Amino acid sequence: MVIKYIFILVILFQSCKKNSSPPVEPDPPGGDTDTITVQPVADPPAATTIDFFLDDWKAKTFAAPDFTETAIPATTNNTVTIDASSIITKIPLTITGHNANTWMTSMIDQPLFMNHITNLHPHIIRWPAGSASDTYFWNRPEGAAPADAPAQLMNANGTLQDAGYWYGKINNGWSASTDQYYQMRQQSANNEGVITINYGYARYGTSDDPVAAAAHLAADWVRYDNGRTKYWEIGNESYGDWEAGYRIDVSKNKDGQPEYLTGKLYAQHFKVFADSMKNAAAEIGKTIYIGAVTYEAATEAWQTNTVKTWNQTMIPELNGANDYYVLHNYFTPYETNSNASDVLNAALTVPEKMMNFVTAQIQTAGGVVKPFALTEWNMFATGAKQQVSNISGLFAIIVMGEAIKNKYGLAARWDLLNGWSNGDDHGLFSDGNEPNIPKWTPRPSFYYMYFFQKLLGDRLVPVNIQGSSSLKAYASTFSSGQINATLVNTGITPLSVEIKWKNFKAGNRFYWYTLEGGNDNGEFSRKVSVNGSSTTLEAGGPEDYVSVKARAASTANGVKVTLPARGAVILAIDKK
């Protein structure tokens, strides 16, 4: 067990009611720190739902940013107390991931994108692309599908339609190859990856043994990868009737598979894939972890029988063969014009509900609780440009904060580039079709995630909030001794907040970044400002975000900030 002295980094995001937990008696502020004795705190064991995702954990050292001296509020009416006498969890590097996709250009020949993704350094970049993964042949030239891959696939309605396969050996300029994905990861400060294997091929393949053929293709990818990627998953949302392989043309199938996929059949096939892939990894002396597609929420009457029975038939059949459980969640009701309060409330509540639901499903089915990987998350809210808004940025940092607090092993936002669709666009960057907005312009979510990561520590610690119910908070600590705070205001009125602490000696100065939206587009502004710096464009944020100076003040009069309406303050407090 490692013993660390905890000097706190604070990330403040907690779904808290007013005085919802016992008050934490803070240490004396400012000049009384000489009376404080900081006690060593033991790291807790890694949560079962995180486990090996902490293998790459690294102690973080805080570096004070360039700053501008700034006045602080004289009085406050809200208090956040950080309790550094306890550790909730070490923070896995895998919690700030993103999804790339096959249609977002060659990537490595896009200097703006490469600069932004290097600056962001999300640690995890998933590939090849959501549902397209189940039609992706990683080692085939364009148009050269395997002989046993039919030209048409059956959709949910039983109609045969063009397969629309994707290929990994391409160089057409508008989509990325398998090798370009690896190059992008390496050239953006060596990001780790998650690779989604083409499971659909095990269903629609027309060979005598399509499961063996698909598993062999997956094992060959593991060999080619040669240890560059540790995290793999078999299929994408395989329970969904929108996925290739959900329903097959049984007249072409030669191994007696049923027309519709079930959780049990998926689990049987999963074990064949896992065996082939693990053997391939062992041949080259590498370790990999393989996740199984799991359904994330209580089912509804209108859903298919496959979805309704997925977990309860898959989990017993897996019998522990998976290394982790793969979850996807889009938080808000499907294609609903959700308001800002509903979007933010979903971010605050869904991660805990999902964790509790899936854990109960596993236990009820007699399965083994293992790490949880939320490899796709975003919102379904549409109609008011919610997905490209300042609110989407607040949503993003709340989701990451809640994922850490609820002990997920991995989380990856969907996605880096998509399509404008009048603002119903999950892309972190503009695709160039957004009117008057250049391609690769970062959306507000980019800025919130960038500054969240910039001041995020390496251990999460508890917080106590007193004051407005609109104030949300998380806290963490740096191994080097400093503390950071991220405060979110979900309400429409600015708040004044004082930060207090326990088991920490504050130094002379604290630093912060204030993020907030503009006055455009109602409650879903497409702009964000950082410490007052924004953009002259119709959407986005400051182009020089890397060099935006922090605001700073002395701790002598306490650590106090003004938290803008529907905005965030991300701060760090130096140690003594």
pTM, rounded to two decimals: 0.95
Domain that holds residue 365: 1-91+323-327+345-576
Question: CA–CA separation, 119 vs 227, rounded Å?
Answer: 25
Sole residue written with tokens 């740096």: 478
> Considering the domain boundaries, does residue 306 fall inside one?
no
> Considering the domain boundaries, does residue 216 fall inside one?
no
Residues constituting the chain: 576
pLDDT in tens, the chain (576 residues): 433 333 333 333 333 333 344 455 677 554 455 678 899 999 999 999 999 999 999 999 999 999 999 999 999 999 999 999 999 999 999 999 999 999 999 999 999 999 999 999 999 999 999 999 999 999 999 999 999 999 999 999 999 999 999 999 999 989 999 999 999 999 999 999 999 999 999 999 999 999 999 999 999 999 999 999 999 999 999 999 999 999 999 999 999 999 999 999 999 999 999 999 999 999 999 999 999 999 999 999 999 999 999 999 999 999 999 999 999 999 999 999 999 999 999 999 999 999 999 999 999 999 999 999 999 999 999 999 999 999 999 999 999 999 999 999 999 999 999 999 999 999 999 999 999 999 999 999 999 999 999 999 999 999 999 999 999 999 999 999 999 999 999 999 999 999 999 999 999 999 999 999 999 999 999 999 999 999 999 999 999 999 999 999 999 999 999 999 999 999 999 999
The residue among 117, 166, 118, 93 whose CA lies nearest residue 415 is 117
The residue among 169, 288, 291 whose CA lies nearest residue 229 is 288
> Considering the domain boundaries, does residue 546 fall inside one?
yes
> Considering the domain boundaries, does residue 61 fall inside one?
yes
Q: How many Cβ atoms from other residues are within 10 Å of residue 282's Cβ?
A: 12
Q: Judge contact between 332 and 343, C-beta under 8 A.
A: yes
Indicate which CATH number applies to the domain containing 405: 2.60.40.1180
Q: Judge contact between 269 and 322, C-beta under 8 A.
A: no
The DSSP code for 255 is S
Q: Judge contact between 360 and 494, C-beta under 8 A.
A: no
> Considering the domain boundaries, does residue 439 fall inside one?
yes
71: which 2 tokens?
């006045």
Sole residue written with tokens 């590939």: 127
Question: CA–CA separation, 542 vs 451, rounded Å?
Answer: 13
Question: CA–CA separation, 435 vs 441, rounded Å?
Answer: 12
Indicate the residue type of 394: L
177: which 2 tokens?
């190859």
- The residues near 63 (Cβ < 8 Å, ≥ 6 apart) are none
> Considering the domain boundaries, does residue 57 fall inside one?
yes
> Considering the domain boundaries, does residue 149 fall inside one?
no
The H or E element containing residue 377 is strand 372-377
From residue 458, how far is each of 188, 382, 483, 573 by CA, in Å? 22, 35, 10, 15
Q: How many domains does the chain have?
A: 1
Question: CA–CA separation, 457 vs 475, rounded Å?
Answer: 9
Sole residue written with tokens 């998650």: 194
> Considering the domain boundaries, does residue 177 fall inside one?
no
Q: Judge contact between 343 and 566, C-beta under 8 A.
A: no
| pLDDT tens digits for range 383-395 | 999 999 999 999 9
